[in-house]
Structure 1
Amino acid sequence: MLPPRAWYAASDAARLSLHGTWRFRLAPTAGAEGDAFARPDFDDATWQELRVPGTWVLKGFGTPWYTNTAYPFPVDPPRVPDENPTGDHRHVFDLPDDWGEGPAVLHFGGVESCARVWLNGQELGHFKGSRLPHEFEVGTLLRPRRNVLAVRVHQWSSGSYLEDQDQWWLPGIFRNVSLHRRPEGSVADHFVHAGFDHLTGEGTLRVECSPAGRVTVPELGLDLATGESATVPVRPWTAEQPYLYDGQLVTAGETVPLRIGFRTVRVEDGLLKVNGRRILLRGVNRHEFHPQSGRTVDPDTMRRDLLLMKRRNVNAVRTSHYPPHPAFLDLCDELGLWVVDECDLETHGFAQQGWRDNPVDDARWEPALLDRARRMVERDKNHPGVVLWSLGNECGTGRGLSAMASWIRDRDPSRPLHYEGDRSCADTDVYSRMYADHAEVERIGRRAEEPLADPELDARRRGLPFVLCEYAHAMGNGPGGLGEYQRLFETYERCQGGFVWEWIDHGIRRRTAEGEVFHAYGGDFGEELHDGNFVCDGLVFPDRVPSPGLGEFKKVVEPVRIEGGTGDGPGAVRITNLYDFADLGHLDFRWRYEVEGEVRGHGRLAVPALAPGEAAVVKLPPAPAGAVRAGEAIWTVRALLAEDTAWAPAGHEIAWGQLTAVPRPAPAPPVATATPRRGEGNVVVLGPGTFDATTGALGYLDGVQVGGPRLDVWRAPTDNDEAAPWQPEPRPATEWRRLGLHRMRHRVESVEPGPGALVVRTRVAPAGSPLALHAVYRWTARRDWLRLELGVDPEGAWPVPLPRLGVRMSVSGSLGFAEWYGGGPGEGYPDTRAAARIGRWSMPVDALQTPYVRPQENGARPGVRWAQLTRTDGSGLRIEGDPDFFFSARRWTDEELTAAAHTTDLRAGEELWLHLDHAQHGIGSQSCGPGVLPQHRLEVAPARFSFVFSSLR
């Protein structure tokens, strides 16, 4: 096998892609078949076909397997079991007529987990390191016609112990396979050094190359011998302004295009700096994943991912937990993202045995660890976007990591090192943590964290910049608490942001017997050991539709803050530039004035081109003529791209803020005129409402049948409510079920028709518990409306917060269109509502649902003043709340939502179920991170709220 080298996408030396349909045979064990299949004359006519690159378990050969930390085979390093699915691959290819003779390289971009390779009957060797490139010299073996490439791939190998990376185990040849012509004098390896001096504005270029050659950069007027340095004025590369210079590297046998970005990365003054400035990482962790092809991700999908990131204000990617396809790094250079390039290394399963036999602390494994470090660094060293090398993930500690760090520092001293698993930071240049809660992050920000036992190590760590390499676990509905984290990052310069876990849900696309599409997760393939839907924890769904969590993240991390109510007086807005390098000259600011959600005026706002970190108070124009009337009025100010960029068109929204112009008038209870009266049958009639005289339940509104409303406290638990099994008590959903909140029983104590109201008193409690909620429904009415005032008082000492507090009711399923004034357009909860802007919104009821891979509480719209549901003819129901409320509507009950394992388990009924919630418990990120912050908990306490119901005709 050849030594590792820098990757480049193309040159003038010929390349031949070997992608396509290969012949394939799967055996259940590693030794089930001999090596005869590698002979050129072997008859593979009975074999099946398989697309390469790809993974055989997603093409009907065997099944995928998901585990988070546990190895899906006995832990007996370095051995693996005999039950080791093994795929034999054969491919026949011809050389192009103009290929010529001489050296050539057979390149494998990624194979899981161990490959043994033959060409034209000659064994070339074997390799491990699934997500790293491997190459063989094959020039003397090639023939003009009918070359036979044979590859045997084992699902498990000793290398699998180093790849326990919280993802599907997907064996196969999943990245590029290609043949590279290597003419005499072609580039064996090259290293582009392009530093930037922020004090002088000059860049220094030096390109090392074997063999020697020349480097030209026409835009800079440079023509240099390799190894020679030149210093010239340049435009630097940053994630905000990713300027690349086109150049060429020319040797006697090859011309290689270069894309050069000048930038310098250092840790100094206790901070991570690029080009002399502290950077703030607004990052995501990214596994390579596609719901149909697994880890085989095509360039168009990579670009789509990066466009989604850039348009949602993401500026950084951690390549968890291995180097990505090199084309992804090319795109990061082009579009502008900071990259933490992580080595193909994780041994998390050894934590279950106290890290006994951990390979990273065993000298026998050191060559394998160093091989992985070398292959990452050599392949990716020429990317300006890569600003940190990461030794790997969740490997504990050991001498192997120290050896990797020492080699990387010697080979590339221009980039700092990252590794989270060693709290002493002995081998790293940044202090990195996972899922530290807000209070701990604040202590770290003040450099007042708990001390290490070793004073020297403690002093060193206390002087390092801090990064959350994983935080805000984006599993299901959530994550909550993003805004509070971001304020800490902005307050304490040591806290330089972090990376949300993670980018995408790893759901595998499947169909039911009826043809309905759903996304499968752990356990859906009969795995004997698995971690369920923990593999679905991303900001985008498997089909790359953004989740509400991505919208929340975009709002929280927006690089321009637009705010009012900060002492700047009425009619003014404060604009703050939170970019690290860019001024605001590239943005166009627009204002809009709305009254009760209706636009009354709009225009441009003149904002100075503020430098990074600067702020200005900008006067808003007078309220539009004729717009001042009774009702809530709101200014919305938006920052838009003024011109097209490589990642978004002009007009794309970067940031927004809302300011109150006229506060919402305090709602005054409407004057009731109707009196309850007995109707025919066992009913009480009050205004447009007809009630059951025994239960006090509303049965009809203006002659249309309804069910309820009645007090409701249960919600289908979110993944964060369920919490990870290793999380400390209390876990919300566990406690809610223990108390019986999913099975509350209602007892009517009295139904009291009075002169101006119908009062219904109830006690709501779970079986087997003395805890209860006393609910008093006070109904008043006029001819055309019905008002419910609900008082709730707790009985007993409640040990946990409620999931929700409000009323649930059913209405006709024909009311299929929703309109509301309040927060939207997407869902929002107490700690995930930053992205919910106040306005007037409308959509079909079915579009209110968020299709989380595992169904759970979703779709609540916060801060709703009024909502209405209508039929196609405009008739329907209107609801007004005092105070604002959370509104949701769905075609199934919460009990059905709780029981569902996949979206296809939910069946629309004939009714709509409405939730009108006075309050909701927050979301948090306890599926792996911290729980709900105190200010977002729904503690049990007396509550009063009201709703007005009326018919639309």
Structure 2
Amino acid sequence: MLSIEKYWEDPNLLHVNREPARAYYIPYADLDSAASRKRSRSPFYQALNGNWKFRYHTSVKHVEEGFYTEDADVSGWDDLLVPSCWQRNGYDQLHYTNTNYPIPCDPPFVPDANPAGLYVREFQVTENWQEKEKYIVFEGVNSCFYLWVNGVFAGYSQGSRNPAEFHISPYVTSGRNRIAVMVLKWCDGTYMEDQDMWRYSGIFRDVYLLARDQAHVRDVFIKQELSEDFRLGRLTCELDIIGTLKADVELRDAEGRRLQSASAVINGSGNVELQVQDPVLWNAEVPYLYTLHIHYGDEVLAFRTGFRQTTVIDGVFQINGRAVKLKGVNRHESHPELGAVIPLKHMIQDLHLMKRHNINTIRTAHYPNDPRFMELCDEYGFYVIDEADLEAHGMSSAEKWAEGAINRLSDNTQWEAAFVERAQRLVERDKNFPCVIIWSLGNEAGYGPNHIAMARWVQSRDASRLVHYEGAAARYKGSTDVEALDMESHMYESVPFIEEYARDESKTKPLFLCEYSHAMGNSPGDLQDYWKVIYQYPKLMGGCVWEWCDHGILAETEDGRPYFAYGGDFGDKPNDGNFCIDGLVSPDRIPHTGLLELKQVIAPVRIEASDLSSGTVCLSNLYDFRDLSHLFLSWCVEKDGHVLEQGQIMELEAAPHGGSQTLTLPYKLPEGDGRYFLTLSCRQNAETRWAEPGYEIMFQQFELPTGRKDVLSADPSGREERPSLHASQGHRREIQAKLKDQLLVIKGLDFRHTFDLYEGTLTGLSKHGVTMLAAPAAWSIWRAPTDNDRGIQSKWLTEGYDRAVMKVYGCTWSQQPDGTVEVIVDYSLGGYTRYPLLRGRTHWRFGTDGGVFLRTEVEVREELPFLPRFGLQLTLPAGNEEVEYFGYGPQESYIDKRLSTRMSKYELTVDDMFENYIHPQENGSRYGTEWAVISNRQGMGLRVEAPKPFSLQALHYTPEDLTAARHDYELTPRRETIVHVDYKMSGIGSNSCGPELGEPYRLDEKAFTFELRLLPVFKEDE
């Protein structure tokens, strides 16, 4: 067994020989290489990424003595790429857990069987570095590590997502050298790193050497100050120096022009001050960056900086003197194959997607992200809530969520140094990034003296930014000192709560929703409600949706099919199942429909109708710092989904921060029957790094005040009858009805339908011998539960919603004088053990043209929870793959998740209608459908229409198929097409971790009537 000091269970020993935290930078030799920000162009930088020799041990007690010596034979060890997570390379247990610690809760102690990963690498040191001071930097190692250089112990560090730098000049020589690292899976720091994520281990961020002048700049803090009128910017460059040196400091603008310079001889520490008249201010919309160069000796340091001011005035959050709404997301560092290793290209992909969807804020949940990500946020323009690597959620779980349990560590002053150091390392590394507007003290770790000490240190070090911490509001046992916190932060509050907060004059701090609208699975469905209120009240800062991406791990089934795995798929215990599949994008960054909804809800332009009869609309600019000249407006007028007129207005000019512009569109107000819709779209007029010219920023749609309001006027066949049980049949045709063994057969000129009087339902539809039904029609109330249904699902199951079947009390038929055939069915729906859920009467009428009209009158048991849905399930034969409909689309839409969809006519396939979620659930419904035709490729199929819009779904899966599957690969599509025509479908909400579904979005009616018409059609003959 290895003979070493057991540092990993002492919360007061956080490192050995580690350098003090400092600002992130790379020294370069000249301005050009510094401007490139390509590390490899620096002669003072040497990457140690690549293949290392690696050996994994299930316990540190098995680590062999002497593995770190210069002559240790590691030739038989495995090769492992650095950076990497060893669990993604076949070692150890893949494990996802949220609130539960993966170890016994016994701080500061961890299991004796503490897995260890041993890393060994040889490297060369050039002769050119002989007179230099040598440092090694580990940007991220989980959870703690020991370092040896050429057989000599060089240091120890913990704190997984903060850099660790060691001075190694005493241990290295020119030529060949060897480093050895022992990484332990757990340490006392594990109790402060209980974030909701996969628990990865190893050297997961970059490792590199730096060569420094004997006298060099150790740390830089660029403090900026703006005059009251923002006409003068002052930069104070605080320098921490090793030795004595002459520093030449210059400031250049974004175009490379030198603005000011100064020089100073500094011994130990000193300041250099610069001023800029009329500085261009940095913000997320126009991220203007200056560059500060520091020259001394052989080195050039380059820092991009931006002038910006973050304040709270009279309870209103402001940037550069303007009230700003934070339209954000929480972003974990997550890659479907690499785990916590995030390549630069992947970071850029995330930022491009966020920009394309109108997101302006990122909370680095729940730890400092890779420093290159911060550079990109400066450059692309994002407001960043930069969060300390601190979460102790497991303290609650350990005591079964007892009151005050989560505060055990934050109240324990023996852990104060560990808490404060996490804030120090966060702030010192990222203090020069202008994108950082708020420091966060961590997440869900209680609130007590240790957090207060963190906040006070942060404010003493950097008073230019605000301090955030949600745990102060969440603390169970009363209020404590929150003076150092600049905002009140909450998670998953309801819309009424935030409105009440905004109206409460005793609340003097702005409210920030650091997590809201939990985007798990088919979600979120309440965004518009939040943002209507957030825009209304200045005291509401905005918030960050939880969260950006699904944390699925790319895996394979036994037969080689790829899928995204989640908690429990690897036998991991404890686990939180698919709770890590809760993002706006899939693990491979395919946007979910929830991201499309967010884009539309937080769009920076609002369009309102002034007078549609004259083509007058008003644009409001919700950007805070830029006018609308970078956008143009396209418009089109459609009738029943067909474009009649279209055009563009290229010159938009509305001023920022609420400026408006009235436009008159040169369309001719249509006349005649039909539905006419005006769609307006704001688009980019030039290429940006993240989108092409013409990319749509937002749209708005209005129905024009003309034409018939009869929903069936959108019928391309021109039929004018309404689908009423009492509709006129027009020209009378022969119709025959015969009863045989309880099967009623209705035949006409070109159709044959069957109705089972015993079962009380339609069993057959055909036209010219083409069968349109493959199974009896059935009333349906069950939907495959969404992740957001988990709060109500148990009530649904208790009442038997999932097992409801129809009981027929009576069924009679008659042929009417007009030739139609009428069937009346009295029925109920219910499951075993419970009373019937609902009772109803359905009137079926078979028309002489082959159409089937039905009206059902329903009464729901009074005390029941709201229904998931109510509608008719139709099973169409194999081959019915085409879906044409008039309604909201093209993607799925629900009563509370439809602002990103447009009313039009759509032609899709059944596969197009399906929205694939990693954990299968209700999906693909189309809210507000007015008619639909589901047919085969020859256009032979079934038309569905109703006097009131309905929800349409056409999939190759039943609700039961979706309910039973845990992963998408477990779904086997049926050859048949399963169609649901729903009177109503309850909304989506965000109750997987948030408030209950809002009452307006529930199917909670206790009595209702539903009418619709079914008609076999051959579309090509219509």
1:19 corresponds to 2:49:
yes
Stretch moving more, 383-392 or 828-837: 828-837
Task: Give the structure 1 partner of residue 21 of structure 2.
Answer: 4
Shift of 1:849: 1.5
Residue range with higher mean Cα deviation, 119-128 or 940-949 = 940-949
Partner of 1:597: 641
1:620 to 644, 662, 665: 665
Equivalent residue pairs, number: 930
Name the aligned partner's letter for residue 802 of structure 2.
Answer: H
Tell me by how many angstroms 1:87 deviates. Answer: 0.9
- Cα distance in structure 1, aligned partners of 2:112 and 2:360: 45
CA deviation after TM superposition for structure 1 residue 604, in Å:
1.5
1:422 match: secondary structure:
helix
What's 1:129 paired with? 159
Could you tell me which amino acid in structure 2 is paired with residue 835 of structure 1? S
Q: Distance in 2 between matches of 1:359 and 1:813?
A: 61
1:6, 1:379 within 8 Å by CA — same for their partners in 2?
Answer: yes
Distance 1:826 1:612 in 2: 32
1:697 aligns to what SS in structure 2?
strand
* Residues 174-323 of structure 1 mapped to structure 2, 5 A cutoff: 174-197=204-227, 199-211=229-241, 213-218=247-252, 219=257, 221-225=259-263, 227-323=272-368
Structure 2 residue 626 is matched with structure 1 residue 609:
no
Alpha-carbon offset, residue 404 of structure 1: 1.0
> 1:691 and 2:754 equivalent?
yes
Q: Which residues of structure 1 form unaligned runs of 5+?
A: 449-458, 724-731
Which residue number corresponds to residue 346 of structure 1? 391
Match of 1:653 in 2: 696
How much is the aligned-residue C-alpha RMSD, in angstroms?
Answer: 2.0
SS at match of 1:942: strand
Secondary structure of the residue aligned to 2:67 is helix
What are the within-5 Å matches in structure 2 for residues 523-672 of structure 1?
A: 523-564=568-609, 571-605=615-649, 607-623=652-668, 628-661=671-704, 662=706, 665-666=709-710, 667=712, 668-669=722-723, 671-672=728-729
Match of 2:790? Answer: 722
Q: CA deviation at 1:172?
A: 1.0
Q: 1:839/1:122 Cα in 2 relative to 1: closer, same or farther (>3 Å)?
A: same
Report how far residue 619 of structure 1 moved.
Answer: 2.5
Answer with 631-640 or 870-879: which moved more.
870-879
Question: Which residue is 2:476 aligned to?
Answer: none
SS class of match (1:266): strand
Alignment match, 1:367: 417
Aligned counterpart, 1:452: none
* Counterpart position of 2:856: 791
* Distance apart, 1:403 and its partner CA: 1.2
Report the secondary structure of 2:471's partner residue. coil
CA displacement, residues 383-414 of structure 1 (integer Å, 9 cap, x when unaligned): 11100000111111111111111111111111
Residue 677, structure 1, aligned to residue 771, structure 2: no
Deviation of 1:213 after TM superposition, in Å, equals 1.4
- 2:971 counterpart letter in structure 1: L
Matches within 5 A, 1:409-420: 409-420=459-470
CA 1:665–1:157: 2 relative to 1, 3 Å? same
Q: Does 1:486 align with 2:531?
A: yes
Report the equivalent of 1:142. Answer: 172
Are the structure 2 counterparts of residues 512 and 785 from structure 1 closer, same or farther at C-alpha, using a change threshold of 3 Å?
Answer: same
| Native 8 Å contact 1:828 1:836 kept in 2 | yes
SS of the residue corresponding to residue 60 of structure 2 reads coil
1:852 aligns with 2:917: yes
Which residue identity lines up with residue 916 of structure 1 in the other structure?
Answer: V
Query: Shift of residue 690 of structure 1?
Result: 1.3
Further displaced range: 380-389 or 520-529: 520-529
Cα distance in 2 for partners of 1:800, 1:910 equals 34
User: 2:68 pairs with 19, 38, 41, which one?
Assistant: 38
Q: Tell me the alpha carbon deviations over residues 589-635 of structure 1, each in whole angstroms, 9 at most, x when there is no partner.
A: 111110001111111135442332123443332327xx544210000
Give CA deviations for 1:109-136 in whole Å, capped at 9, x if unaligned.
Answer: 1111111111111111111100100000
State the Cα distance separating 1:784 from its structure 2 match. Answer: 5.1
Query: Could you tell me which amino acid in structure 1 is paired with residue 815 of structure 2?
Result: G
Instruction: Give the counterpart letter for 2:779 in structure 1.
Output: L
| 8 A Cα contact 1:777 1:788, kept in partner | no
- Which of the residues 942, 946, 953 maps onto 2:1012? 946
Q: Quote the residue 1:330 is aligned against.
A: 375
Rounded to whole Å, the distance in 1 between the matches of 2:45 and 2:202 is 22
Counterpart of 1:543 in structure 2: which amino acid? D
CA contact (8 A) 1:771 1:797 kept: no
* Distance across 2 between alignment mates of 1:164 and 1:321: 10
Q: Contact between 1:239 and 1:337, CA under 8 Å: does it hold in 2?
A: yes
Larger Rg: 2
How is 1:729-744 mapped onto 2 (pairs within 5 angstroms)? 732-744=792-804
| 1:373 positional shift | 1.1
Does structure 2 retain, via aligned residues, the 8 Å contact 1:779–1:786? no
1:523 Cα deviation after fit: 1.0
Instruction: Give the distance between the partners of 1:795 and 1:205, measured in 2 at CA.
Output: 69
Please state how far the C-alpha of 1:339 moved relative to its aligned partner: 0.4
SS of residue matched to 2:62: coil
Query: 2:986 aligned with 1:921, yes or no?
Result: yes
Contact 1:187 1:253 in 2 (8 A): no
Per the TM alignment, residue 345 of structure 1 is displaced from its structure 2 partner at its CA by 0.4
Cα distance in 1, alignment partners of residues 412 and 756 from structure 2: 77
Q: Which runs of 5+ in 2 are unaligned?
A: 1-17, 30-42, 264-270, 474-478, 713-721
Q: Give the Cα separation in 1 of the matches to 2:365 and 2:205.
A: 17
- Pair 1:67 & 2:97 matched: yes
The equivalent of 2:6 in structure 1 is none
Moved more, 39-48 or 703-712: 703-712
> How far has the Cα of 1:243 moved from its partner?
0.8
- Counterpart selection for 1:701 from 756, 766, 773: 766
What is the rounded CA distance, in whole Å, between the counterparts of 2:258 and 2:223 in structure 1? Answer: 15
The 10-residue stretch of structure 1 (326-335 or 178-187) with the greater mean CA deviation from structure 2: 178-187
Read off the aligned partner of 1:869 and give its amino acid letter.
I
Q: 1:316 to 1:676 in 2, by over 3 A?
A: farther
**Partner deviation per Cα, 1:445-494 (whole Å, 9 max, x = no partner):** 1125xxxxxxxxxx6xx211111001001111111211010011111100
Secondary structure in 2 matching 1:630: coil
Does the 8 Å contact 1:803/1:938 carry over to 2?
Answer: yes
By how many angstroms is 1:783 displaced? 5.6
CA contact (8 A) 1:751 1:759 kept: yes
| Aligned position for 1:806 | 871
**Letter of the structure 2 residue corresponding to residue 532 of structure 1:** G
Q: Distance in 2 between matches of 1:96 and 1:872?
A: 70
Would the alpha carbon gap of residues 741 and 664 (structure 1) be closer, same or farther in structure 2, given more than 3 Å must change?
A: farther
Identity fraction in percent: 37
Q: Which amino acid aligns with 2:452?
A: S
Distance 1:757 1:129, change over 3 A: same
Question: Could you tell me whether the CA contact under 8 Å between 1:771 and 1:798 is conserved in 2?
Answer: no
For residues 153-173 of structure 1, give each alpha carbon's deviation from its aligned partner in whole angstroms, at most 9, with x where no partner exists. Answer: 111110000001111111111
Question: Which shows bigger deviation, 928-937 or 774-783?
Answer: 774-783
Distance 1:795 1:648, change over 3 A: closer
The Cα of 1:519 is off from its aligned counterpart by: 1.1
Q: Quick one: distance in 2 between partners of 1:663 and 1:936?
A: 30
The one-letter amino acid of 1:11's match is Y
Partner Cα distance (2:890, 2:789) in 1: 24
C-alpha displacement of 1:945: 2.3
2:488, 2:708 → 1: CA distance?
Answer: 47
Distance 1:570 1:948, change over 3 A: farther
Structure 1 residues 362-396: Cα deviation after superposition (integer angstroms, max 9, x where no partner): 22211212221111111101111100000111111
Asked whether the equivalents of residues 622 and 656 of structure 2 are also in contact (C-alpha less than 8 Å), the reply is no
**C-alpha distance in 2 between matches for 1:858 and 1:546:** 15
Q: Normalised by the size of structure 1, how large is the TM-score?
A: 0.94
1:922, distance to aligned residue in structure 2 (A): 1.1
Q: Letter of the 2:874 partner, please give it.
A: M
Residues 271-328 of structure 1 show CA distances to partners (whole Å, capped at 9, x for unaligned) of 1111111110100001100011111011100000011001101000010110100111
